[in-house]
């Protein structure tokens, strides 16, 4: 995820990111009182403070990949997590120790695998993120993490996507005219570069 944002800043959202917001809102705004919004300095899930308010899922700037990634986190988070800012997850900033990085990878494997499904539904290239540019990550770390993401994506392919993720995936396929069923997709380490 990201460090807690102070809120969204005013900025123009690129048309592709705006399409993601429209798709997300069509799928979830009414049923879950949740909106997707770009323009944030850092990603943030902000639950409603009072009844009648909406929950807001902020993604960084107008970054398409950030929007997909934040939606992936939201699709995995259960009802209790969705009542907490950033779902109650810890976040250690860039420069994590090897132990902190391994903990990050354990948490991030599932949302990055789900983000990959969403990227494929949009015809968009998915890129693995260690989110630790200043940390002591070795080349073998990225390989292990890529393999874990592939395994998780293949597991969801066999078992089916989580319910909200399946709804969003199908809506993205319609919006971006990709029309591939999840079981038709291929997930390999080689695709991750």
Q: Which tokens in the block code for residue 37?
A: 């919004």
- Which residue in 57, 79, 67, 73 sits closest to 113, CA to CA? 73
Extents of the domains making up the chain: 15-88, 98-192
- Within 13 Å, how many C-alpha atoms sit on residue 180's CB side? 15
DSSP conformation letters of 73-113: HHHH--TTGGGSGGGG---PPSS--HHHHHHHHHHHHHHHH
State the pTM of this model.
Answer: 0.88
For β-strands 44-46 and 55-60, DSSP reports them as: antiparallel
**Predicted confidence (pLDDT) per residue in 12-58, tens digit:** 456 889 999 999 999 999 999 999 999 999 999 999 999 889 999 99
Helix axes 163-175, 64-76, angle to 10 degrees: 150
**Predicted confidence (pLDDT) per residue in 47-104, tens digit:** 999 988 999 999 999 999 999 999 999 999 999 999 999 999 877 666 777 788 788 8
């Amino acid at each position: 995820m990201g460090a807690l944002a102070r809120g969204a800043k005013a900025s123009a959202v690129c048309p592709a990111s705006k399409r993601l917001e429209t798709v997300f809102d069509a799928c979830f705004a009414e049923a879950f009182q949740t909106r997707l919004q770009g323009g944030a300095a850092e990603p943030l899930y902000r639950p409603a403070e009072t009844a009648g308010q909406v929950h807001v899922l902020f993604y960084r700037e107008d970054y398409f990949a950030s929007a997909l990634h934040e939606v992936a986190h939201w699709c995995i988070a259960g009802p209790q997590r969705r009542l907490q800012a950033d779902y109650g997850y810890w976040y250690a900033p860039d420069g994590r120790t090897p132990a902190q990085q391994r903990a990050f990878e354990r948490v991030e494997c599932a949302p990055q695998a789900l983000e990959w499904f969403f990227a494929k539904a949009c015809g968009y290239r998915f890129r693995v993120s260690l989110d630790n540019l200043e940390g002591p990550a070795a080349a073998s770390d990225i390989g292990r993490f890529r393999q874990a993401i592939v395994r998780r994506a293949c597991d969801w392919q066999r078992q089916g996507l989580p319910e909200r993720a399946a709804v969003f995936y199908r809506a993205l396929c319609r919006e971006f005219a990709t029309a591939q069923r999840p079981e038709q997709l291929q997930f390999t380490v080689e695709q991750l570069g």
